[in-house]
Amino acid sequence: MRDHFYRNAWLDFQIIMRKIISIAIATAGIILFVFTGFSHAGTLSEEMSRHIAGRIKDTDISAKIICIDRQSCKSVLVPKFYIDRKFKPAWSDDFGPLPYVESFLAVIREASREGLRPDDYHIRKIELILTGLYERILVGESPDIVKLMELDLMLSDAFLLYASHLLYGRIDHHTVYPGWVIYQRSADLTAVLSNAIASEEIEESLAGLIPFHSGYAGLKEKLVSYRRIAENGGWPQIPKGPKMKKGSHGHRVAILRQRLLVSGDLDRAGENTHDVFDQKLEEAVQRFQKRHGLKTDGTVGRSTMETMNIPVEKRIRQIALNMDRMRWLPDDLGDRYVFVNIADFHLEVVEDGREVMTMKIIVGKRDWRSCVLSAKMSYLELNPYWKVPDSIATKEILPKIKKNPEYLARRNIKMFRNWNDQGEGIDPKTVDWSRIGTNKFPYRLRQEPGPGNALGRIKFIFPNECEIYLHDTPTRHLFGRQRRDFSHGCIRIEKPIELATYLLRDKPTWTSKKILAEIRKGKRQVVMLSNLFDVHIFYGTAWLDRGGTLQFRNDIYHIDEVPYTLTFGGVQTAAANQ
């Protein structure tokens, strides 16, 4: 607490001192210029340019340069920025640091509002150098030219790094999540910095890189709220014990009541000092369960209690992490689009900002993760074939064939030498399966249309590098499960006929009745969409729903807590699988 007080006092002192110095510089700039001692060698800016040029030219253009001491600048764009401006300093002139330095530092000090960390952007070293420079200026000494140069480099590096984190995200999700193939938003960050310096609109330039969509802004607000909860001590931990439900009473019920008051699930109007589990408390438990993807039975069993006991600090990190993931989403999701949240096992269709359809989904298992991507849906298939991926053919189907050569016939699966083969294919009985190994499987397997087809009656195609798609499924009982990660990467959907009808609504003849009639014919048929339809598949474990309620979900792929320098191993990316 004392450290926090002294740090705030020190920052206040620095701000006051800089304001005093700014006034002094503005009123006595000519005198200060004489003190700099550069009247014969050139102006202060010219000397700085020579030093910056020397620092950069001593470094390979593709490498990071030294910002200060032996510390490299973190952004590889720093050399390009200075080369483009002919090594002219960006943050100082002939009289020292410019006023917009403080504007930029004010933004960095508030980086935590964006779920980022001020210390990642040299804030302490920059403040120390500034303090030293200002102290020299106050006593009439000439600024240290090397320190001024290093200050300029570090400020530019901090800007470019912070800008890249706002635009692309701080975390390398490609490393954390194999199958994260969504394309990043893009911008010329050196141009952004150049324009910010020229206009002196530092804050506005950086604000333009923040994601536009409301989901990001909503999480940003909740991040502030949850940090406030943490500053006030967080929420209480509920001791282990038997289930609690309506009618229960005791000390643990009183703690439960306090827990839900802190998180806002129990209204203050429902606050009571007694320790009885009443109707209002049951409703609060159900609200908590619903926004955490739990069974909404109003009973506090093991899973509900474990979720309630997750510390607020972990939720804060989860919110910040999901803000970082949202930076990868396109700024414009489209006028009409399908949005899949893998962690929520949920799909919604959105039109003009309104949810017009929603359904349950089944997603990839942990070792067959569904890809995170954005793509354009172009057509759908009725009575589709399922071309079995080699990985599934060798790992799952081959052992079953070896046990029973009739397996393929029973599953209505044909076997070919390659995908160009036509006709009836190869008779499995003619193959010596004891000589076929997983390392070199020479056949291609294709399941024919029919009731048992793994893709069901319809699949929805949006070309993507993972070769996954949305599709129907014959195993519809799995939609009754709370957790639904059973597929090999593709997204199985609960309402394929309804989605197909919606997508084909601008083709009047393609009613739901016609779609079902065509399916009954049993023949594969491709139906093109009149217009491309946006599809976004995302992995979100914290977000705001359309009612503004903060939602959390279990991290089914175990990536919320993984160190971001660690690369996953042994995880397969889905490819043309079910």
Where is average pLDDT lowest: 94-103, 216-225, 356-365, 530-539? Answer: 94-103
273 pLDDT more than 90: no
Residues shown for the chain: 578
pLDDT band of residue 1 (cuts 50, 70, 90) is: very low
Distance CA 560, CA 554 (A): 9
pTM for the whole thing?
0.87
Mean pLDDT of the region 353-371: 96
294 pLDDT more than 90: yes
Residue 30: burial class (beta carbons within 10 Å; 0-12, 13-18, 19+): exposed
150 pLDDT more than 50: yes
CATH superfamily of 235-310: PGBD-like superfamily/PGBD (1.10.101.10)
- Cα 527 to its chain centre, rounded Å, is 33
Return the SS3 of 355: strand
Q: Which of 173, 471, 488, 536 is catalytic?
A: 471
**Residue 249 in tokens:** 């009473």
> Comparing C-alpha atoms, which of 191, 160, 174, 181 is closest to residue 75?
160
162 contacts 173 by C-beta, under 8 angstroms: no
Return the SS3 of 97: strand
pLDDT of residue 42: 62
Distance CA 509, CA 84 (A): 59
pLDDT higher at 571 or 154? 154
467 contacts 370 by C-beta, under 8 angstroms: no
pLDDT of residue 563: 60
pLDDT of residue 432: 87
Mean pLDDT of the region 382-404: 91
pLDDT of residue 10: 43
468 pLDDT more than 60: yes
Mean pLDDT of the region 475-495: 96
* Residue ranges of domains in the chain: 2-210, 235-310, 333-385+449-578, 387-448
pLDDT band of residue 561 (cuts 50, 70, 90) is: confident
36 pLDDT more than 60: no
pLDDT of residue 251: 94
Domain at 333-385+449-578: CATH code: 2.40.440.10
**Would you call 490 a catalytic residue per the annotation?**
yes
Cross-strand bridge partners of residue 121? none
Return the SS3 of 531: strand
Mean pLDDT of the region 425-436: 86
Mean pLDDT of the region 277-298: 96
pLDDT band of residue 19 (cuts 50, 70, 90) is: low
pLDDT of residue 31: 39
pLDDT of residue 5: 45
- The single-letter DSSP state of residue 119 is G
pLDDT of residue 15: 53
Mean pLDDT of the region 301-314: 97
Give residue-wise pLDDT tens across range 158-173: 999 999 999 988 888 8
480 vs 195, 307, 498, CA distance in Å? 55, 22, 19
Percent of the chain past pLDDT 90, that is, above it, reads 67
Give residue-wise pLDDT tens across range 75-117: 889 999 999 999 999 999 888 899 999 999 999 999 999 999 9
Give me the chain's average pLDDT, please: 87
pLDDT of residue 272: 60
**Residue 219 in tokens:** 């999480």
Alpha-helical segments (H) within 327-416: 390-392, 398-403, 407-410
500 pLDDT more than 90: yes
Where is average pLDDT lowest: 35-49, 320-334, 501-515? Answer: 35-49
Q: Which of 73, 371, 466, 490 is catalytic?
A: 490
65 pLDDT more than 80: no
Mean pLDDT of the region 302-316: 97
Distance CA 153, CA 130 (A): 13
**Would you call 371 a catalytic residue per the annotation?**
no
Where is average pLDDT lowest: 61-75, 196-210, 296-310? Answer: 61-75
Cross-strand bridge partners of residue 459? 381, 471
6 pLDDT more than 80: no
Q: What are the residues whose beta carbons fall under 8 Å from the beta carbon of 572, sequence distance 6 or more?
A: 178, 367, 368, 369, 391
**Residue 153 in tokens:** 């480099």
Distance CA 503, CA 512 (A): 11
221 pLDDT more than 60: yes
